[in-house]
Structure 1
Amino acid sequence: MMKIMKKHDILTPVIGLICMLLLQVSCSDPWDEHARDNEGLTNEPLLERLEKEPESSEFMKLLHASGVDKTLDGNNAYTVFVPENSRIQAVSSSLQNDAEALDRFVKNHIAVSTHRLNASADTVRLTMLSGKTLDFVNSEIDGAAFSKSNQAGADGMYHVITDALIPRQSLWEYMSDHNDELQNAFILSLNEYNLYDTAVVEDPADYYLNNEFLRNVGDMRDENQRFTYFVLKDADFTAEVEQFLPYVNYRNHADSSYAIGQYEIVKDMLFKQAYSKDNLPAMLLSASNVPFPVDKSAISQSVRLSNGWVHILDRATLPVVNKLVDTYVQGEEPSRFSESVTASTFHRIRKDPYGEFFKDIMVQNHKVSSLSIFYNLPRMYSTTYDVYWRALNDIQNNVFQQRVGVFEFNPRPSEEDPEIPVHAQIFQFPYTNVEQNDYNEVYLGEFTLEEYDRILTVLQGAATTDEGINTLVLDYLRFVPKLKTN
């Protein structure tokens, strides 16, 4: 039977829809929004609009004198940030007889495409025609406020700003200009000198490709990145290197050890965030996980750069003990096995009693006597290490044993057969029980590494083919370097 709708059943949704439409109209006038989105819009070319702007007259003189005005030919859209006349007058005299500096200055005020006033807290990085990247945030560009904004022409937009955007040096340019300072000179020397035999194929398009600092710590040439860099005065830098030499004994070669000591000091002086002196946190963490305590009272000078800040220290602030950070070996990330046991290898996800998830590796029922799992470690300091593991035996009803060995990373010819490469043993820990359901770290003992170098660590199972007895399991190994007392 067809249902007959009552009159009020039809009117109720209609009335609701009308109310919603009235509410939208009362809150927002689409013509007002259209006007705001096109504030200052005309069909005039951008150059003509700039010529009529009272506060752009001084900048326009520089624009024409540099020849950059020919770039604003209507074929592409640009945004011009125009400093007020008084700000241009303050710097124009220094540009009159330097065509290159004039060109760079003018281009540092022009960005490709149109960019409206950014009043949000989100930083937008604008690449200027100068090649510099400026931060555009909170109604400011590179710290200069807006006195007039969103003036749009047919082929672009301009804003009037309260300060000139002086092109700043990048960190790499600053370092190159201050190459008489020992710390900077060392980093620059890596353009020609490699610490390790890790040089990549030379690329004619990138002369600096083999600089290990740029490649491994931070490419300070990059205008799109942001850096904070601390510089020690020459005497302090030398003292820090000499203090650290006992930890970087490289094959008893004094020159190589000293160069590596310099690298170990400077690699923890660069951070991939930009902090002014006022905004520096109490502690920074370097790329190699070294905690760097910030003592603002030790900063004698700060220099703002296009891609960060340099802070000059009048004394060293990073204790040696801070640089001796723990090295972790994750069990689930081996480099290889002594034999293929893929079908018996399990990468597991477990949860500890505190509710934290972790990954580990378990190799079970593989029928291989003395099965070994190999792990490659980074370069390690020449000192003594305490070694721990966490190994969870949670699915077997018996205790089993395994052990850890430390070997030289680079292979040597075998004494029995020179054609077979072997890794010389540095230290072998004894077999240790893997107790049931033990989530705690277990201390294995200590060993001494006489030379600064990479090492190979090996987790080895019991010398038997019996299932359940030769199981291997590992969450992680932890190597804790010790501070030398003499």
Structure 2
Amino acid sequence: MRKYHILTPIIGLLCVLLLQISCSDPWDEHARDNEGLTNEPLLERLEKEPESSEFLKLLRASGVDELLNGNNAYTVFAPENSRVQAVASSLQNDAEALERFVKNHIAVSTHRLNASADTVRLTMLSGKILDFVNGEIDGAAFTKTDQAGADGIYHVITEVLTPRQSLWEYMNAHKDEQQNAFILHLNDYNLHDTAVVEDPEDYYLNNEFLSEVGDVRDETKRFTYFVLNDGDFTAEAQHFLPYVNYRNHADSSYAISQYHILKDMLFDQAYDRDNLPAMLISRSNVPFPVDRSAISRSVRLSNGWIHYLDRPTLPIPNKLVDIYIEGEEPWGFSASVANRTFHRVRKDPFGELFTDIMVQNHGVSSLQVAYQTPRMYSTTYDVYWRALNDVQANVFQQQVGIFEFDTRPSEENPDQEVRESIYVFPYTNVEQNNYSEVYLGEFHLADYNRIVPILRAMGTATHGENTLVLDYLRFVPKLKTN
């Protein structure tokens, strides 16, 4: 008991000390680190900095100095006088450019020198986002750091932080290039008849490139984009045209072909020329081989890089990627069998987990499970399935049919809509404990469009004989030979 009483005041004192430490204000700590400087407003500190005098002139001329009124904390990155003098004349007669330039050197809140390899992205008053990493901001080094005022910090840097265009701004400024012109054309032109005509929340997201490939307006993201010269872009679109026959409409088919050339030339990470990997993978899983020798010039943007190619580097076979339809992701059923439908997690002989669907003992003759695909190229496809029969003592059969995505009135009953058959594969055995793919055959898709694959059970209500099971369907597009 005596030990308890002796320890009680010590523990209490430790708790008080810990409470004081935990409640300390980071700004108070910052003030202690810069004692003697924090009583002066940031603007007054900048006025006393010899190397910030030229930037201070632009700050006041732009009117941005009124923001530094002590109501908020800011970080100012002031370029050396000689760097500011080199660009000042180009800003004198453009008030908007001057304001944007100055704001690109000021970040909200306080940011000390970041000498680590971890990138901190700073949002500047210009709306641009600059990388702060390894003792540099946007590539500019520091000659003086962490100079504190009462309402912020300033650093002196070796280069000006001229606002760069985003990829979207660059495209709009270079409309004479065919790739850019086509992307901007998508603001008002719908590639497909089913496209949304107008999005009242965001007009530009009617543009399929922005909505489906990448929203290159976004300053928070980073992109790498490749551009072909006009002649190569036209030639590539013509070369790919046979794979995108859209309702036998020449103009629409050509526009879709152009889209499919450029959609695999945008990538989500930013790579300068020297750091480009040998292979990039597009969002649609197309492998893009990188040939640095084909890059004629590169342009740095606020949210990435553009690399101009003097020749095409993406072969058509690379674009013909396999399409997988997962069995556990059906679009619909021909009858209600929810209580007999199972999504199963299985492990293959190599230890890889996968999920499939099994519909068993449902009592429905010729039960159908429908799926839908993305838009598929107009070419011939080899079709495979993986279907695991591991819980039944018998072999059963099932079949796959390929149907048009668009419906049309039935000839027998005009009020009823039906899907026309493209091809129906024969019933195929689902052997016991077979983890391998099974080749079903091939079919030809004449039109660029979605399709509806249908998995159909045997025409019997007998349990065990009308089972359906599917891990995936795989569609392998074939290269055209003529």
Same fold (TM over 0.5): yes
Q: Distance in 2 between matches of 1:209 and 1:478?
A: 31
Residue 211 of structure 2 corresponds to 215
CA-to-aligned-CA distance 1:55-89 (integer Å, 9 cap, x gap): 11110011011111011111111111111111111
Greater mean deviation of Cα atoms: 86-95 or 61-70: 86-95
Match among 403, 410, 413 for residue 417 of structure 1: 413
SS in 1 for 2:122: strand
1:49-64 equivalent positions in 2, closer than 5 A: 49-64=45-60
Shift of 1:148: 1.4
Residue 27 of structure 1 corresponds to none
Q: Distance in 1 between matches of 2:56 and 2:201?
A: 36
Q: Distance in 1 between matches of 2:342 and 2:94?
A: 68
Q: Distance in 1 between matches of 2:375 and 2:38?
A: 63
Match among 20, 33, 45 for residue 38 of structure 1: 33
Shift of 1:207: 3.1
Residue 351 of structure 2 corresponds to 355
Residue 319 of structure 1 corresponds to 315
Residue 285 of structure 1 corresponds to 281
Residue 233 of structure 1 corresponds to 229
Is it true that 1:77 corresponds to 2:73 in the alignment?
yes
The structure-2 alpha-carbon separation of the partners of 1:114 and 1:34, relative to structure 1 and needing over 3 Å to count, comes to closer
Match among 326, 334, 342 for residue 330 of structure 1: 326
Is residue 200–residue 209 contact of structure 1 (8 Å, CA) maintained in 2? no
Is it true that 1:406 corresponds to 2:402 in the alignment?
yes
Is it true that 1:339 corresponds to 2:329 in the alignment?
no
Shift of 1:39: 3.4
1:466-485 equivalent positions in 2, closer than 5 A: 466-485=462-481
Residue 250 of structure 2 corresponds to 254
Residue 302 of structure 2 corresponds to 306
Shift of 1:34: 5.0
Residue 23 of structure 1 corresponds to none
Q: Distance in 1 between matches of 2:97 and 2:366?
A: 70
RMSD in angstroms over aligned alpha carbons?
2.2
Residue 26 of structure 1 corresponds to none
Q: Distance in 1 between matches of 2:112 and 2:262?
A: 41
Residue 196 of structure 1 corresponds to 192
Is residue 408–residue 419 contact of structure 2 (8 Å, CA) maintained in 1? yes
Identity %: 75
Shift of 1:35: 7.3
Shift of 1:266: 0.7
Shift of 1:296: 0.3
Please tell me the residue identity of whatever aligns with 1:166.
T
Q: How many residues align?
A: 465
Is residue 225–residue 305 contact of structure 2 (8 Å, CA) maintained in 1? yes
Match among 231, 237, 243 for residue 239 of structure 2: 243
Q: Distance in 2 between matches of 1:39 and 1:164?
A: 26
The structure-2 alpha-carbon separation of the partners of 1:154 and 1:332, relative to structure 1 and needing over 3 Å to count, comes to same
The structure-2 alpha-carbon separation of the partners of 1:199 and 1:75, relative to structure 1 and needing over 3 Å to count, comes to farther
SS in 2 for 1:115: coil
SS in 1 for 2:369: strand
SS in 2 for 1:278: helix
Shift of 1:369: 0.4
Q: Distance in 1 between matches of 2:79 and 2:447?
A: 59
Is it true that 1:121 corresponds to 2:138 in the alignment?
no
Is it true that 1:112 corresponds to 2:79 in the alignment?
no
Please tell me the residue identity of whatever aligns with 1:319.
P
Please tell me the residue identity of whatever aligns with 2:271.
Y
CA-to-aligned-CA distance 1:95-123 (integer Å, 9 cap, x gap): 12221111110010011111122222222
Is residue 380–residue 452 contact of structure 1 (8 Å, CA) maintained in 2? yes
Please tell me the residue identity of whatever aligns with 1:347.
H
SS in 2 for 1:358: strand
CA-to-aligned-CA distance 1:437-474 (integer Å, 9 cap, x gap): 00000000000001111100000111100100100000
TM-score, length-scaled by structure 2: 0.93
Match among 435, 442, 451 for residue 438 of structure 2: 442
Q: Distance in 2 between matches of 1:201 and 1:155?
A: 49
Is residue 224–residue 269 contact of structure 2 (8 Å, CA) maintained in 1? yes
Q: Distance in 2 between matches of 1:145 and 1:39?
A: 22
Gaps of 5+ in 1: 6-12, 18-29
Is it true that 1:378 corresponds to 2:353 in the alignment?
no
Residue 153 of structure 2 corresponds to 157
Q: Distance in 1 between matches of 2:29 and 2:216?
A: 44
Q: Distance in 2 between matches of 1:133 and 1:197?
A: 37
Is residue 190–residue 197 contact of structure 2 (8 Å, CA) maintained in 1? no
Is it true that 1:224 corresponds to 2:206 in the alignment?
no
CA-to-aligned-CA distance 1:294-315 (integer Å, 9 cap, x gap): 0000000100000100000000
Q: Distance in 2 between matches of 1:199 and 1:190?
A: 11
CA-to-aligned-CA distance 1:323-373 (integer Å, 9 cap, x gap): 000000000000110101011000000000000000000000000000000
Q: Distance in 1 between matches of 2:324 and 2:234?
A: 30
Greater mean deviation of Cα atoms: 112-121 or 187-196: 112-121
Greater mean deviation of Cα atoms: 183-192 or 144-153: 144-153
Shift of 1:94: 1.2
Q: Distance in 1 between matches of 2:454 and 2:34?
A: 69
Residue 20 of structure 1 corresponds to none
SS in 1 for 2:125: coil
The structure-2 alpha-carbon separation of the partners of 1:37 and 1:406, relative to structure 1 and needing over 3 Å to count, comes to farther
Greater mean deviation of Cα atoms: 398-407 or 146-155: 146-155
Shift of 1:480: 0.2
